[in-house]
Amino acid sequence: MATEREVEQSLKNLQIDVTDLDVRLEFAERRVRAIRHTTFIEEFLEGGVDPISSFLDYKLVSSPANPPATFIRIFADTDNSGHLTQRDSSGSEIDLAYLDADAIAAVEGEATLALSGAVEITGILTVDTINEKTGAAGVTVDGLLIKDGWPDPVVIKLLGEVFN
Query: How does pLDDT run along the chain (164 residues), one tens digit per residue?
Result: 677 888 777 777 777 666 666 677 777 777 766 665 555 555 555 445 555 555 667 778 887 889 899 888 888 888 766 778 888 999 988 877 666 555 555 555 555 666 777 878 888 888 887 777 776 777 888 888 877 766 667 777 777 776 66
Contact (CB, 8 A) for 90 and 73: no
Contact (CB, 8 A) for 55 and 47: no
Residues 147, 153, 157: CA angle, nearest 5 degrees? 140
Q: What span, in angstroms and rounded, lies between the C-alpha atoms of 76 and 63?
A: 9
Residue 46's pLDDT is what?
47
